[in-house]
Structure 1
Amino acid sequence: MGETGFRYSILASGSSGNSFYLETEKKKILVDAGLSGKKITSLLAEIGRRPEDLDAILVTHEHSDHIHGIGVLARKYGMDIYANEATWQAMEGKVGTIALEQKHIFELGVTKTFGDLDIESFGVSHDAACPQFYRFMKDDKSFVMLTDTGYVSDRLAGIVENADGYLIESNHDVEILRAGSYSWNLKQRILSDKGHLCNEDGADAMIRSLGNRTKKIYLGHLSKENNIKELAHMTMVNQLAQADLGVGIDFQVYDTSPDTATPLTTI
């Protein structure tokens, strides 16, 4: 692997479950485990990795599509689990018993060092207790995870700017959502400032955040009911092109899947 950067795979991304894997020469880390322990194990196997080798799981927030398998994995393999205080409280009763020595606090707005990797947490606008996502940094390389937010403020765009890679939310197409079968209350929640980014808003966030270092943009957390992969991709590419950004030349746009891992990639 050499001395630079790190490797990652988006194991699963979508409303049915989310999990992100990242490794350096010293650490193997999972962010969220929103599928069954068995499914996470099979997704890791797709990239030639095993849950028993994980050093830690970082939690973004307490919704089940992000924590479903955390308790099982923690009990079976004994890795450290990190979340902020409010998220730990909100997870009570949802993840079963996790041994005290495995429970760690990772507060909002701080940078923690895990071996040779620095991880910065930042807040997002979502209807959870205290949702936070992460920027991973090593050897002057960085990758940003940013899903599950109703909007991206200019301040947040500044915090995450000019990363080498992004996982950005493209949750729904507004027209499909409005015309769909969801209840009015649920539609309102998704469309609100504490909901999820639509395709256009995800693209707008990227236009304000990406920089000359950026090489890869992954579209994440697509709704099965309220989006179409091709539409999300086209919206992102078209808006970036209209903003005169070098989409397809300076950087590439990639899709993710709710049930298949992206290839293990070095950044």
Structure 2
Amino acid sequence: MMRFSSIGSGSSGNGLLIQSRDTTLLLDCGFGLRDAIHRLQRAGISPESLNGILVTHEHDDHAGGVFKLANKFGIPVWLTHGTFTMVERLMPKQRGFELHVIDSHVPFTIQDLGINPFPVPHDAREPVQYTFDNGNTKLGVLTDTGTSTPHIEAMLSGCHGLVLECNHDLDMLMNGPYAWPLKKRVSGRLGHLDNTTSAAILANLDLSHLQHLLAAHLSAKNNHPDLVIDCLSSALNCERDWISIADQELGFDWRDIR
């Protein structure tokens, strides 16, 4: 069995827990040290029990809290070379944790979990997302990308659990309070996924094993959970309550995949 839980998802900070047998990983940490510890403990996880932190890219809502947490508790960190060059400024002078620089196309293993990074189009130096596999079940994560690619869809096909960005409703974004340059960035090829594009991605995946779909990284100003649920449930032809939303403050509780 594998299980996963969000400690928070949105522009104010992101973190996703993945656990299989004796292995517990944290994907990103965009929270201050005290807040991150509180959020982990709320999920029933002590920071000392983490076997690693994986970083998707350098933006503060994903990487801003990684190195203080890693340094305090001696947690190994995995990230791409491009991300490393952008976050080196955040690292303590006396590093108390192992740092692993990965290739964005090469799978690797952390104890009980096989990890497959894959590159995504986003306005960062060398951004990646990941799938996690324990030999029986597979979890896929896709956030912080402006568009999909055939490679992304190949990586996410066959997942038992899927965390999928639904950042904005395009009409809300275009008629909302953001300045025009920011609207162009968010909606552009290197920005974030809108609800309709995320639904279209689902149509291109093998979903025959899917047990949980979590919509993540919702914009507080340019989206609404009801719009997300309407869009994704229509794409999957499923009941609305089958779609779950990752909240900025509360994330979501543990989901088991078997």
Query: Normalising by structure 1, what TM-score?
Result: 0.92
Distance 2:35 2:54 in 1: 18
Counterpart mapping for 1:1-267 below 5 A: 5-97=1-93, 99=95, 102-241=98-237, 247-248=238-239, 252-267=242-257
Distance 2:23 2:188 in 1: 37
Amino acid of the structure 1 residue aligned with 2:250: T
The alpha carbon displacement at 1:54 in A equals 0.8
Distance 1:98 1:144 in 2: 34
- Alignment gaps of 5+ in structure 1: 242-246
Cα gap change, 1:79/1:235 in structure 2, threshold over 3 Å: closer, same or farther?
A: same
Amino acid of the structure 2 residue aligned with 1:49: I
Distance 2:142 2:111 in 1: 23
Q: Deviations over 1:23-77 (max 9, x none)?
A: 1222111000011121221111222111111111000000000012112101210
Distance 2:17 2:202 in 1: 22
Report SS of the residue matched to 1:14: coil
Distance 1:261 1:226 in 2: 18
Distance 2:94 2:160 in 1: 35
Distance 2:94 2:152 in 1: 32
Q: Percent identity?
A: 30
Amino acid of the structure 1 residue aligned with 2:41: A
CA RMSD of aligned residues (A): 1.7
Q: Is the 8 A contact 2:75 2:97 kept in 1?
A: no
The alpha carbon displacement at 1:252 in A equals 2.8
Query: Normalising by structure 2, what TM-score?
Result: 0.95
Distance 2:97 2:248 in 1: 32
Which has the higher mean CA deviation after the structures are superposed, 138-147 or 43-52?
A: 43-52
Runs of at least 4 residues off by over 2 Å: 94-98
Cα gap change, 1:200/1:114 in structure 2, threshold over 3 Å: closer, same or farther?
A: same
Report SS of the residue matched to 1:144: strand
Distance 1:178 1:76 in 2: 42
Q: Deviations over 1:92-129 (max 9, x none)?
A: 21344462752111220111111121010001000000
The alpha carbon displacement at 1:232 in A equals 1.2
- Alignment gaps of 5+ in structure 2: none
